[in-house]
Amino acid sequence: MKKLLLFILFISTVSLYGQTAKEIIKKMDDKMQGNSNRSVMRMTVIRPDWKREVTMKGWVLGREFSLILITSPVRDKGQVFLKRKTEMWNWQPTIDRVVKLPPSMMLQSWMGSDFTNDDLVKQSSIVNDYIQTLKKDTIISGMDAYQIELIPKPDAAVVWGKVIAFVEKKEFNQLLVRYFDEDGALVNTLMMSDIRPIGGRVLPCRLEMIPHDNPRQRTVIEYIELEFDLNLKEDFYSMQSMKRVR
């Protein structure tokens, strides 16, 4: 009986091509992140009665360093968000102040959007902080996709109780993600679209986050520019850079 259970567990985590759920997630994550990247993005916060646009630049090194500069609108221009390993700061030029964001704020809204602080700075790692399990394959937007359940490891400092990711089989692009709280209730759904060449890769360039309890609102992030594998150094991610980056 024990051998049978082990065999079932093995089958549930390995695809027909011999890839484990973790290997699929890692391929998807590596493709989207690269060793480093620089991006220009536009974020549109959509509400039933109004709409707000924010443009930004981002610099990411590995999984532990990121810096985001807000370039518009005028009232937010110059704000910077810095992540170094497990710590995150916000530089607010209008009050000449750096604010350290505690881990308890990772689930809070980022810039008034439907994305959380954790979504933007990727404090948690879907590769290392979760146990990945392959579920039944499916079709998303006409494309064959892996369905992968991610359950946080007992000691992982993550904000979600469960994540279900749908990854396209051919290009390993993430197509759809559902985020659940610790009680198993659906909180947010992330939809990816506009898959096209950018930065020498074929990637989804439109990310749309929709809260489950309020489907009339959403936040869209669009990639305008994206470059990979740049010569970024750890010392770029500093308090000094927060105040001078442009």
Q: What is the pLDDT of residue 175?
A: 98
Q: What is the pLDDT of residues 214-236, one digit of tens each?
A: 999 999 999 999 999 999 999 99
Q: What is the pLDDT of residue 140?
A: 95
Rounded Cα distance between 165 and 176, Å, is 6
Q: What is the pLDDT of residues 44-73, one digit of tens each?
A: 999 999 999 999 999 999 888 999 999 999
127 confidence band (pLDDT: 50, 70, 90): confident
Q: What is the pLDDT of residues 21-36, one digit of tens each?
A: 999 999 999 999 889 9
Q: What is the pTM of this model?
A: 0.87
Contact predicate 98/242, CB 8 Å: yes
**Is it the case that residue 156 has pLDDT exceeding 50?**
yes
Q: What is the pLDDT of residues 79-94, one digit of tens each?
A: 999 999 878 899 999 9
Residue range 200-208: mean pLDDT, rounded: 97
Domains delineated in the chain: 20-238 (2.50.20.10)
Full DSSP string of 21-58: HHHHHHHHHHHHH-SEEEEEEEEEEEETTEEEEEEEEE
Q: What is the pLDDT of residue 123?
A: 57
Contact predicate 59/236, CB 8 Å: yes
CB contact burial 86-116 (16+ within 10 A = b; e otherwise): eebbbbeeeeeeeeebeeebbeeebbebbbb
